[in-house]
Amino acid sequence: MTETKPENKKIQSTGTFKKIMADHFLQMDAAAADPKRKVAWCTSVGPAELLQGLGFEVYYPENHAAILGTIRKADTYIPYANAVGYSPEICSYLTADVGAFLQGFTPLKRAYGIEAVPKPDVLVYNTNQCRDVQDWFMWYARHWKVPCLGIETHRNVGDVTAEHVASISAQLKKLAQDLAPIAGHKLDMDQFKESVRLSQQCSELWEKVLRCGTAQPSALTFFDGTIHMGPAVVLRGMQVAVDYYEELLAELRKRVDERVSAVEDERFRLYWEGMPVWGRLRTLSEQFLELNTCVVASTYCNSWVFNQLDPDNPFDSMARAYTELFIVRSDEVKEDYIARMCKDFHVDGIVYHDARTCPNNSNCRYGMHQRLSERLDTPHLVINGDLNDMRCYSDEQARTNIEAFVEQLGQG
């Protein structure tokens, strides 16, 4: 008798997703070759809308680094960055990306025929997520001898106050002034507001997509989310992202109405806290399918929800939206957030990914997992691994631990 493996339920909008992502990268490549166009590199939760208001093509290296992880090439290139002084203990997005660059490799070649990542005219970061992004961008700035500018954010923020917003807003205004000579013109306020408006719409739709996971059974999994978040990261501020999420949302709402479950015979519902394990998305997704367990929500996919954006107040609202992010906040705020998410998504257990090279997005190192389990009376599992460096991840250990955890949920 042959055993059939449960299959991931295909999302029909994936065709559109692939097309708009391909168009984006090809357009980026064309812009990089056009001497009249300017390219800005931007961190994934950096001031993209401002850059669009200045007419830059915006490129996101973290997305590139995640692709390296997904196609399992990160391990190949990390050692080349280690060899030029970047520790194996620091962000493996940084080390994979710099290592691949040093070796002249980009996954965009195989996917889209693009020879190299676009050369930046400027690199713009926001330290709201970590300091690694600044170090990462500075490496390229030195390499290409181009400016690297950024926003220095408050960290460990409890309530986001008017003072926080004012200080970040002032930095954004100064950044706009400093970028103008590189862009070749002043900030176009109309374009800036339009980008903020589209970004806000994209964000709202993306959140609605993710909330289709509150349905019982859930209409999508965390693993679907890690793929379909692409436009929220690299196309926010553009109409194409809004159109895409309208299509995806309609498809998922139909699933909800018809009680179509992403995971057949859903028995348990989990929350994923921390970075994805990019090199094991498929393996993990398949294991949870086999266990009839759906990872229904995550902090990670929700990190591109910026609902505070307001086109009528672009500087202050950007300052607020990019400071209210989970990763910027105090442990108390983070715990309240996860508690709310677990309730809204009817979660049976929490999986914490302790990513070796990303302490910034690993929230099980200072007792949060224990405190939350007590508070919510919800069990948790810690998986040791990494976002990109698969030398830190044991397949066997993760598989056994997940199996045991789900079994324990069954004994509930």
Supply 167's token pair: 């200080």
CA–CA separation, 253 and 260 (whole Å): 10
- Give the residue among 250, 195, 174, 244 at the shortest CA–CA distance from 219: 250
Decide if residue 387 touches ligand SF4 (CB under 6 A): yes
Provide the 3-class DSSP secondary structure of residue 151: strand
Cα separation, 104 vs 295, whole angstroms: 36
Out of 21, 51, 133, 187, the residue judged to bind ligand SF4 by CB under 6 A: 133
Pairing mode of beta strands 268-273, 349-355: parallel
If one asks whether residue 67 binds ligand SF4 (CB under 6 A), the answer comes out as: no
Binding segment for ligand SF4 (CB under 6 A), chosen from 114-122, 170-178, 284-292, 356-364, is 356-364
Q: Is 409 in the site for ligand SF4 (CB under 6 A)?
A: no
Q: Is 132 in the site for ligand SF4 (CB under 6 A)?
A: yes
129 forms part of the interface with ligand SF4 (CB under 6 A): yes
Q: Which of 80, 94, 102 is nearest to 130 (CA)?
A: 94
Question: What's the CA gap between 388 and 183, in Å, rounded?
Answer: 34
Query: Least separation, in Å, of the C-beta of 298 and ligand SF4?
Result: 14
* Closer to ligand SF4 by Cβ: residue 61 or 237: 61
Closest CA to 399 of 267, 277, 274, 268: 277
Tell how far CA 368 is from the center of its chain: 22
CB 56 within 8 A of CB 40: yes
Q: Answer yes or no whether residue 358 interacts with ligand SF4 by CB under 6 A.
A: yes
Nearest to ligand SF4 of 129, 153 (CB atom): 129
When the beta carbons of 121 and 386 are compared against ligand SF4, the nearer one is 386
**Closest separation in Å from C-beta 153 to ligand SF4:** 12
| Residue with smaller CB distance to ligand SF4, 92 or 261 | 92
Q: Which CB, 241 or 387, lies closer to ligand SF4?
A: 387
Q: Shortest gap between Cβ of 130 and ligand SF4 (angstroms)?
A: 3
- Three-state SS for 180? helix
Q: Which residues bind ligand SF4 (CB under 6 A)?
A: 62, 91, 93, 129-130, 132-133, 275, 358, 360-361, 387
